[in-house]
Structure 1
Amino acid sequence: MEFWLLGEVTARKSRADGESAAVDLGPSMQRCVLAALAVDAGRVVSVGRLIERVWGTDAPLRVRATLSSYVSRLRQVLDGVDIVWRSGGYVLDVDPSAVDLHRFRSLRRKGDVDALAEALRLWRGEALTGVDGEWADAERELLRQERFGAELDLVDARLRHGEGEGLVAGLAGLVAAHPLDERLAGLYMLALYRAHRSADALAHYHRLRGELGDRLGADPGGPLRELYRRILAADPCLEPERPVLPAARPPVPRQLPAAPTPFVGRQDELARLDDLAGTVVISAIAGTGGIGKTWLALHWAHRHLDRFPDGQLFVDLRGFGPDADPVDPAAAVRGFLEALGVDRDRIPAEPHAQAALFRTTVADRRMLLVVDNAADTGQVVPLLPGTRSCTVVVTSRSRLPGLVTRHGARPLPLDVLSDDEARALLAERLGADRTDAEPDAVAELIARCGGLPLALGIIAGRAHTGPDRTLAAAARELRELGLDALDDGDPAASLPAVLSWSYRALTAEQAAVFTLLGIAPGPDIGVPAAASLTGLPPARAGAALRGLHQASLVGLDASGRYRMHDVVRDYAARRAHEHLSVAERTAALRRVVDFYLHTAHAGDRLLDPHRSPVELEPAAPGCTPQPLSDDMVALAWFDAEHPCVLAAQTTAVAHGRHQTAWHLAWALVTFHWRRGRSTDQIAAWQAALTAAEHLPDPKYRIQAHRLLGREYSVTAQHDDALHHLHAALGLAEGDPVQQARTHWALAWAWEMRGDDRSALDHATRALHLLDRSDDPIGKAIALNQVGWFNARLGEHGPARTHCEAALALHRKHHNRDGEANTLDSLGYIAHETGHHAEAAGYYREAIALYRELGDTYETASTLNRLGHTCSAQGLHDAARDAWREALALYAAQGRTADAEKMRQQLDERA
């Protein structure tokens, strides 16, 4: 007999057939009596306590008789287990291990990963289900806390075993449910740090500190503050412990995967590889997949292991993989360094320094590096040794001309197999007797596979698993499925026929979703966007996507987004053009583009509610924009969907939807500014400007020129910036608001050129224009601009006056963006006038607001200024902390020049 409390309260007994069956415990009060005894199994529970647990303070008359009756009935149904009367109370006479609650507690006390995982598996939902009353409610809450504690114990144990990145997603859900739990926050920050997401770990600390202050008026405790300090300092103690190698010699890495079998042909290519020393590139013609690049590279490598006595390194860069983003070269370099025995403590934080250490480590060693599935030259260059003692074999779908022209790589184009090689491959897989018995079928199979090793391998695998099936039947199936010959010599064109075997097994709805995914904009898709693309309810769209994932036609990443391999996408697009009319394809694309437009527009309104609104056309029928609850949810949506929104704009342009293309650029502005995505901003507004030429209202061209000009100034393309801004100013004649906003942008552009006097002139013109308008936010922005440039020119009195007036207006109208910017200006003024404590206060207020807004771009800039103020106060540790955090953000945003200055600054102040 076993008793279950961590779910619905029940007892189970074994049957003769070895299974177990639930025991009917009768009314809910009777179950409550059993639960009240089972939580203290093997121990006496006094009558008074039992009555209190079951009936609370409102016990009925003759309650003891009622309790005795319930105990008597339970004795009748509990086979082999007794409820015994002992002095003053009852005891459930059973081994505590027969009660899941006690097993859970026993396993939790062991504290290791396996025991904790087993303990949590005992839970089957809410504890004590079916039992009501005050005691049950209180006990359930205590058990919830125990379960939560066990979940954290398990995370802690896994972190001690060296895990990190794989825990982040699960911890994020727990953090959302328990936002103020400091132990959980510490585990989450450490997991983020182990996943190489230091900036996210630091940002979570600041969010928690803000919430603790707002809700409880408290700061994080000492342990969490110490963890924050260690993350800032990249403390090696935060890394998982690694065993000390007993050998004094560095390890000799042997990372090559097993040699693929069978291998046939490629004799000319193998001979060319035999003659080469130094860096070698294998590049497939037209960059096709499935032609056997890795097959060749590994076969050659295993034939010549004796040439590389110092070891072999291997990495799959996943440049064209279906399930994951390409590998960061820095991550590959770190993996190589660890394989070479370099202690993690010695590996520097910066990628360029890691690459330099790698080159030093392999200098003069005779090693082989196989770099598989590279996306482009930039992904490979950090992995190249600095000496010719090493040989590097790179496989890629691209010809990688950058490696050939700049690094002296020797290209080795790889073509399809010859007929003789293809026949030899089939004979190796199926046996010569079988292929010799059906020469005509073999000839047809070879012709239809077009010499593509992957296609031949799939055919052979299918025939091998069905030895009674004739090759003629396999050839007939290929003939009926229509495996195409190569198009323009590109072997990838034969893969659609192979994919059709999976396609043929789909349901009608899965097939319809699959075809539409082939024409959808963007590299991946989430369920909400797929619902609008297909016109299906989200639940059905999600079910269809899961079916496609199970059929291996789409990949699924950890965030729940679906991605197609490029060859699979090409096949799906062909099916869409074959089976859907132009009207059906156009309607689907209109729905999904409208999904991205309307969701992005709503998200932008949450990010900056003070931007001048734009009016959108109604969404297409069947389009359901994704609801976004607040600005942080909106920012997360933009982070996930950004490539798809840009692709949606490209689709809008291609279909002549000029106003939609312009509105998509508009909806991305705030996100691009906060994330420092200048290159994407320029691309979006170049497309928007082209679209605006087709729209009658000049406001579209004015704003496109203005926003494009502003972003050109950020990227130091000063002539282009002024060209567009003066074009905007000319078009805005007669519109004081548009003129004023263009003068803002011109002020910014002149500041970027180093001419603060001209910048002040434009800011002053903007202020004069807005003095006559009903635009308090615009006036506040102009006041702050004038004050900022006053300060830059050393005119600190007028600067303070203008900025304080701006701050009052921003606060009056609850404009947090403007408030943060103005606080930063006031911090600069205070610093320049020697009021460093006041400056630090302004800067910290600004940073707190920027973090609330998710504005990592301005956070980095203000952290830099805060560091200077702390340094002026003699607070050198605080200054370095601020600069290190700014450096991490600069690097994440691709602000290379700013990051390099910051590194020099830190080196000088070390």
Structure 2
Amino acid sequence: MVTGGAGTGKTALAVHWAHRVRERFPDGQLHLNLRGYAVGPPLDPYEALACFLRALGTDRERIPGSIDESAALYRSLLADRRVLVLLDNARDAEQVRPLLPGSAGSLALVTSRDGLAGLTACDGARRLVLDVLPQPEAVELLARIAGADRTRAEPRAAAELAAACGHLPLALGIAAGRLAERPHRTLGEHAAELRDAEDRLTVLQIDGDATCAVRVAFDLSYRALRPAARRLFRLLGLAPGGQIGTAAAAALSGSAPAATRPVLEQLAAAHLLSPAGPDRYRLHDLLRCYAADRATAETGPADRAAARERLCSWYLHHAEAAARLLTPQRRRLPLPAVGPWYEPPGFTTPAEARRWCESEHSRLLETVRYAAEHGLDGHAWRLPVALWGHFQAGPNLADWMEADRSAVEAARRIGDRGGEGCARNDLATALGARGRHDAALAELRTARALLASVGDRAGEAQVLGNLGNQSLLTERYEAAAGYFREALAILREQPPRSHREWAIDTCEADLAVAVRLRSSGSVIGLRSSG
């Protein structure tokens, strides 16, 4: 049994193997397209049996009238024969079962876009799952169709073209076929056309041949889904990046994870998603383009916007939950509300929170960019601020600075002076970690003014503490002591709470360091006040 997504080469592989082993089946081969994923309805199993019975020499009028009797006659005719039965493009296990030979001498080879788990569980089928090609094999397929000399002449362009095709055999064959028709066109030009196309799927088709079109192939799989699976698939096309976890997908759809998990499994069984780890799935690049295309066509703007906001809120609230474990002493900022679809994260210890941040690092960065791109600037500035504890303890300084710069711009776009002040404070910490202390001081002075303008005294005290730290690192000890004294004065006027007490203790210790350094002129390591 060969299964896999649309365009992965299941039929080609099955036919190729059938030709190679034909000598093992001296009584012949039976081949039938079951039309499981086709423009018309799937082939009825009784009709399929009738085709096979006629091929095996049964007169039309002697074919039984019921499927069970036809299946029994079919198996009796194969009982003493060694025949290879190729059942191509099956829809489900029920379509296939009546067509399976009953004797050990014959073999059925089935291809399907569905996982056909029932055949594995109940009928002893062995399954081979096809995915996209590794890059070397994708380039080799291009070379075989478009010409080896052309791919050797432009190895980098060949790799780019293969990537633009998502390493999908059908897309690669179409791209190579178009190149074969245009011998004077370079691979680089074709790769650029695909890379820059507003609708890549429209480019990946052969005009006048509906079977050679990636979009048509995906359409057939998509239309076979149940309504709930179609909706979730469309929404997955709106998510940033190529991977998503079950809980994040649930937020995207506005459902509980328990209700979303079986729908994701349906999509995986249809090979429209690929498992990418425990409770995590990967959406192939071209399928993601297709899903986004379906979302634009079938999901209204308000529903798309609501899905994006839910997803960004999910990441923001999870990041804040991690921050409460990683930096419990840091003051917390109010977050936008979430709906009943939100379930708190499973991590409960700092170590678990750290592992979650590290595993989601790239997706968190993508979400910052994504929120800014889609007008969710409140999320775009709060998320990097929530991730401060993760960033400052890790090695990804470039990512930290990118996220904080994005946060500053997002807060500025919506005129949130307090948010901009918080973002600039965090950006200053990142700049300081890179040794750019003068730039950090400039950001902190701006942050102080912004927070003071909105009456955020606790935030102003936090910035003053960081001004003191950066001044110490640049040997401005008198100025550092002044900043720490100002911070202490503000902190002592705040209502008692855990952050205030920790901040006062930290600031008093830093003030003592500043006074001692002013007297001795030596430099020691310092901690950031956040």
Q: What corresponds to 2:356 in structure 1?
A: 637
Determine the C-alpha separation between the residues in 2 that align with 1:575 and 1:616.
32
Q: What corresponds to 1:777 in structure 2?
A: 502
> Counterpart amino acid of 1:763?
F
Determine the C-alpha separation between the residues in 2 that align with 1:704 and 1:601.
15
**Contact conserved, 2:251 with 2:311, CA < 8 A, in 1?**
yes
> Counterpart amino acid of 1:417?
L
> Counterpart amino acid of 1:590?
E
Determine the C-alpha separation between the residues in 2 that align with 1:790 and 1:287.
63
TM-score relative to the length of structure 1: 0.36
Q: Classify 1:645/1:704 alpha carbon distance in 2 versus 1 (closer, same or farther; 3 Å).
A: same
Q: What corresponds to 1:419 in structure 2?
A: 181
1:696 Cα deviation (Å)? 6.0
**Contact conserved, 2:326 with 2:350, CA < 8 A, in 1?**
yes
Determine the C-alpha separation between the residues in 2 that align with 1:721 and 1:415.
55
Please show how residues 516-527 of structure 1 align to structure 2 within 5 Å: 516-527=235-246
Spell out, residue by residue over 1:283-304, the C-alpha distance to the aligned partner (whole angstroms, 9 max, x if none): 149745376xxxxxxxxxxxxx
Determine the C-alpha separation between the residues in 1 that align with 2:388 and 2:474.
23
Of the three residues 357, 377, 381, the one matched with 1:658 is 377
Q: What corresponds to 2:144 in structure 1?
A: 263
Q: Classify 1:289/1:731 alpha carbon distance in 2 versus 1 (closer, same or farther; 3 Å).
A: closer
Determine the C-alpha separation between the residues in 1 that align with 2:399 and 2:156.
32
Spell out, residue by residue over 1:168-217, the C-alpha distance to the aligned partner (whole angstroms, 9 max, x if none): xxxxxxxxxxxxxxxxxxxxxxxxxxxxxxxxxxxxxxxxxxxxxxxxxx
> Counterpart amino acid of 1:528?
A
Q: What corresponds to 1:282 in structure 2?
A: 156
> Counterpart amino acid of 1:506?
L
Work out whether 1:737 is the aligned partner of 2:499: no
Determine the C-alpha separation between the residues in 2 that align with 1:702 and 1:257.
51
Q: What corresponds to 1:514 in structure 2?
A: 233
**Contact conserved, 2:465 with 2:507, CA < 8 A, in 1?**
yes
Work out whether 1:691 is the aligned partner of 2:453: no
> Counterpart amino acid of 2:144?
F
**Contact conserved, 2:491 with 2:503, CA < 8 A, in 1?**
yes
Specify the SS of the correspondent of 2:334: coil
1:695 Cα deviation (Å)? 5.1
Please show how residues 311-710 of structure 1 align to structure 2 within 5 Å: 416-419=178-181, 479=210, 494-620=213-339, 622-694=341-413, 698-710=417-429
Q: What corresponds to 1:762 in structure 2?
A: 483
Q: Classify 1:675/1:502 alpha carbon distance in 2 versus 1 (closer, same or farther; 3 Å).
A: same
Work out whether 1:786 is the aligned partner of 2:505: no
> Counterpart amino acid of 2:303?
E
1:697 Cα deviation (Å)? 5.9
> Counterpart amino acid of 2:356?
W
1:796 Cα deviation (Å)? 11
Q: What corresponds to 1:834 in structure 2?
A: none
**Contact conserved, 1:729 with 1:742, CA < 8 A, in 2?**
yes
**Contact conserved, 1:590 with 1:620, CA < 8 A, in 2?**
no
Unaligned runs of 5+ residues in structure 1 are 1-255, 274-279, 292-319, 323-412, 422-448, 457-474, 484-493, 800-824, 830-856, 859-910
Determine the C-alpha separation between the residues in 1 that align with 2:508 and 2:255.
50
> Counterpart amino acid of 1:749?
Q
Determine the C-alpha separation between the residues in 1 that align with 2:230 and 2:176.
34
Determine the C-alpha separation between the residues in 1 that align with 2:221 and 2:331.
50
Q: Classify 1:522/1:752 alpha carbon distance in 2 versus 1 (closer, same or farther; 3 Å).
A: farther
**Contact conserved, 1:502 with 1:551, CA < 8 A, in 2?**
yes
Please show how residues 216-295 of structure 1 align to structure 2 within 5 Å: 263-266=144-147, 269=150, 273=153, 281-284=155-158, 287=161, 289=163
Specify the SS of the correspondent of 1:536: coil
**Contact conserved, 1:747 with 1:759, CA < 8 A, in 2?**
yes
1:495 Cα deviation (Å)? 2.9
1:525 Cα deviation (Å)? 0.8
Determine the C-alpha separation between the residues in 2 that align with 1:568 and 1:659.
30
Determine the C-alpha separation between the residues in 2 that align with 1:290 and 1:677.
28
> Counterpart amino acid of 1:766?
A
**Contact conserved, 2:238 with 2:292, CA < 8 A, in 1?**
yes
Aligned pairs, how many?
A: 364
Determine the C-alpha separation between the residues in 2 that align with 1:321 and 1:768.
62
Determine the C-alpha separation between the residues in 1 that align with 2:385 and 2:343.
20
TM-score relative to the length of structure 2: 0.58
**Contact conserved, 2:142 with 2:176, CA < 8 A, in 1?**
no
Q: What corresponds to 1:438 in structure 2?
A: none
Specify the SS of the correspondent of 2:393: helix
Q: Classify 1:753/1:523 alpha carbon distance in 2 versus 1 (closer, same or farther; 3 Å).
A: farther
Q: Classify 1:705/1:267 alpha carbon distance in 2 versus 1 (closer, same or farther; 3 Å).
A: closer
**Contact conserved, 1:594 with 1:620, CA < 8 A, in 2?**
no
Q: Classify 1:632/1:746 alpha carbon distance in 2 versus 1 (closer, same or farther; 3 Å).
A: same
Q: Classify 1:450/1:795 alpha carbon distance in 2 versus 1 (closer, same or farther; 3 Å).
A: closer
**Contact conserved, 2:484 with 2:511, CA < 8 A, in 1?**
yes
> Counterpart amino acid of 1:731?
L
**Contact conserved, 2:354 with 2:390, CA < 8 A, in 1?**
yes
Determine the C-alpha separation between the residues in 2 that align with 1:590 and 1:535.
10
> Counterpart amino acid of 1:679?
A
Determine the C-alpha separation between the residues in 2 that align with 1:760 and 1:736.
19
Determine the C-alpha separation between the residues in 2 that align with 1:496 and 1:285.
22
Q: Classify 1:414/1:757 alpha carbon distance in 2 versus 1 (closer, same or farther; 3 Å).
A: farther
Determine the C-alpha separation between the residues in 1 that align with 2:445 and 2:411.
17
Determine the C-alpha separation between the residues in 1 that align with 2:399 and 2:485.
30
**Contact conserved, 1:595 with 1:625, CA < 8 A, in 2?**
no
1:619 Cα deviation (Å)? 0.8
The structure showing larger relative contact order (alpha-carbon pairs under 8 Å, at least 6 residues apart) is 2
**Contact conserved, 1:710 with 1:748, CA < 8 A, in 2?**
no
1:673 Cα deviation (Å)? 1.7
Please show how residues 789-828 of structure 1 align to structure 2 within 5 Å: 789=514, 795=520
Q: Classify 1:726/1:505 alpha carbon distance in 2 versus 1 (closer, same or farther; 3 Å).
A: same
Unaligned runs of 5+ residues in structure 2 are 1-135, 169-174, 184-200
**Contact conserved, 2:233 with 2:291, CA < 8 A, in 1?**
yes
Determine the C-alpha separation between the residues in 1 that align with 2:478 and 2:333.
34
1:530 Cα deviation (Å)? 0.8
Determine the C-alpha separation between the residues in 1 that align with 2:149 and 2:426.
56
Please show how residues 40-55 of structure 1 align to structure 2 within 5 Å: none
Please show how residues 717-732 of structure 1 align to structure 2 within 5 Å: 717-732=436-451
RMSD: 4.1
**Contact conserved, 2:321 with 2:345, CA < 8 A, in 1?**
no
> Counterpart amino acid of 2:364?
V
Q: Classify 1:415/1:791 alpha carbon distance in 2 versus 1 (closer, same or farther; 3 Å).
A: farther
**Contact conserved, 1:284 with 1:414, CA < 8 A, in 2?**
no
**Contact conserved, 2:309 with 2:376, CA < 8 A, in 1?**
no
Determine the C-alpha separation between the residues in 1 that align with 2:214 and 2:451.
55
Q: What corresponds to 1:747 in structure 2?
A: 468
Spell out, residue by residue over 1:17-68, the C-alpha distance to the aligned partner (whole angstroms, 9 max, x if none): xxxxxxxxxxxxxxxxxxxxxxxxxxxxxxxxxxxxxxxxxxxxxxxxxxxx
Q: Classify 1:745/1:451 alpha carbon distance in 2 versus 1 (closer, same or farther; 3 Å).
A: closer
Sequence identity (%)? 26
Determine the C-alpha separation between the residues in 2 that align with 1:599 and 1:664.
10
Specify the SS of the correspondent of 1:282: helix
